[in-house]
């Protein structure tokens, strides 16, 4: 496992990695993550062609830049880690920047913001304050190994539905949507983010994947309705996961989550 994640991401599955790696299917031709976030399972997966997609265009642009730019860590270290600089960088409209500048902005804010949260206002502008645990970037080796691994992947901005409907027999998809219950606010991951009102449509996509011979692993919070719907056709495993309560130092709670798969 990478000693320090390249991208801090709320909902990252780093804590579940051992279980997830053991749950990967033995055989598949292509690895796909339609809600890729920091893609921590991808970085631990076998060498295979891959497709990583997410609705967050700043995130996908940053992964693309990490994939192609050997100098990116040095560029990031050149940006002063001060409060004044954080708010100056945050106020820049990324649509006025080139791909390299956008990636530097995204990765700098991600490293230094509160808890690695990605939240936007109604206009889609990133509005997370600077965190008090502002830290260093991972060592150059992590950037180098990530660049090498990302060479296996095609990266694309897409909704999960667009990605899932394009899959073919032989593909394997790790499906890890946000667990948000809220339907009305801009979402934990910005405008247009998945929420629980989209679950029915996602379950219909899972049935279609199964019919097409696409293997999938789906992770979600445990909820009795979801479990009873999915266990009719798929294998459902319950897990107890320790989660940090954001904003409260040393505070944790135990949450129940599920892993659902359509293969043995
Ligand atoms: C729980 S996180 C994924 C975490 C990831 N597995 C990891 O280990 O970092 C969910 C991701 O879904 C993305 N997302 C939210 N709504 C989406 C949608 N409708 N289509 C595609 N991606 C979406 C968010 O931007 C976020 O990166």
Q: pLDDT (tens digit, 9 = 90+) per residue, 195-249? A: 889 999 999 999 999 999 999 999 999 999 999 999 999 999 999 887 665 555 5
Is the pLDDT confidence value at 163 over 70? yes
Region of residue 181 (left: phi > 0; alpha: psi -120 to 50; beta: else): alpha
The string of DSSP letters for 12-65 reads: --GGGHHHHHHHS-S--SEEEETT-TT-HHHHHS-S--EEEEES-HHHHHHHHH
Reply yes or no on whether the pLDDT at 182 is more than 60: no
Q: What contacts 81, CB < 8 A, 6 or more positions away? A: 112, 134
The alpha carbon of 32 and the centre of ligand 1 are apart by a number of angstroms equal to 13
pLDDT-wise least confident of 124-128, 152-156, 260-264: 124-128
- Given a contact cutoff of 8 angstroms between Cβ atoms, the answer to whether 189 and 232 are in contact is no
Three state DSSP letters for 206-232: HHHHHHHCCEEEEEEECCHHHHHHHCC
In the CATH scheme, what architecture does the domain 14-261 have? Answer: 3-Layer(aba) Sandwich (3.40)
Any ligand 1 atom below 6 A from CB of 12: yes
> Which residue(s) pair with 33 in the sheet?
52
Mutate to test the pocket of ligand 1, among 52, 58, 193, 198 (most ligand atoms within 8 A of CB): 193
pTM assigned to the model: 0.93
Ligand 1 and 40: CB distance under 6 A? yes
Domains of the chain, by residue range, sit at 14-261
Those residues whose C-beta lies under 8 Å from the C-beta of residue 128, and which sit 6 or more positions away, are 109, 113, 114, 117, 118, 119
Taking the mean position of all CA atoms in its chain, how far away is CA 210? 23
The pLDDT of residue 68: 98
Q: CA 239, CA 15: separation in Å to the nearest integer?
A: 12
| Distance from residue 180's CA to the centre of ligand 1 (Å) | 11
């Amino acid at each position: 496992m990478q000693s320090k994640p390249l991208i801090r991401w709320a909902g990252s599955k780093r804590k579940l990695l051992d279980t997830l790696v053991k749950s990967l299917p033995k055989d598949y031709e292509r690895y796909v993550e339609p809600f890729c976030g920091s893609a921590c399972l991808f970085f631990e997966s076998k060498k295979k062609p891959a497709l990583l997609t997410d609705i967050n265009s700043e995130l996908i642009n940053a992964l693309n830049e990490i994939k192609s730019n050997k100098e990116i860590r040095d560029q990031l270290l050149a940006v002063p880690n001060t409060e004044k600089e954080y708010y100056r960088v945050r106020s820049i409209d990324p649509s006025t920047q080139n791909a390299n500048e956008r990636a530097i902005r995204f990765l700098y804010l991600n490293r230094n913001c509160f808890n690695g949260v990605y939240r936007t206002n109604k206009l889609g502008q990133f509005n997370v304050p600077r965190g008090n645990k502002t830290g260093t970037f991972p060592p150059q080796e992590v950037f180098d190994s990530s660049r090498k691994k990302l060479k296996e992947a095609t990266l694309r901005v897409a909704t999960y539905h667009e990605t899932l409907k394009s899959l073919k027999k032989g593909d394997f998809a790790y499906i890890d949507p946000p667990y948000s219950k809220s339907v009305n606010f801009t979402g934990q991951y910005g405008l247009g983010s998945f929420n629980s009102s989209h679950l029915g449509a996602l379950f219909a996509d899972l049935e279609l994947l199964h019919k097409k011979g696409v293997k999938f692993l789906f992770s979600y919070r445990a909820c009795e309705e979801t479990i009873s719907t999915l266990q009719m056709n798929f294998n459902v495993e319950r897990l107890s996961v320790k989660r940090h309560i954001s904003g409260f130092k040393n505070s944790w709670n135990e949450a129940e989550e599920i892993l659902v798969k359509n293969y043995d």
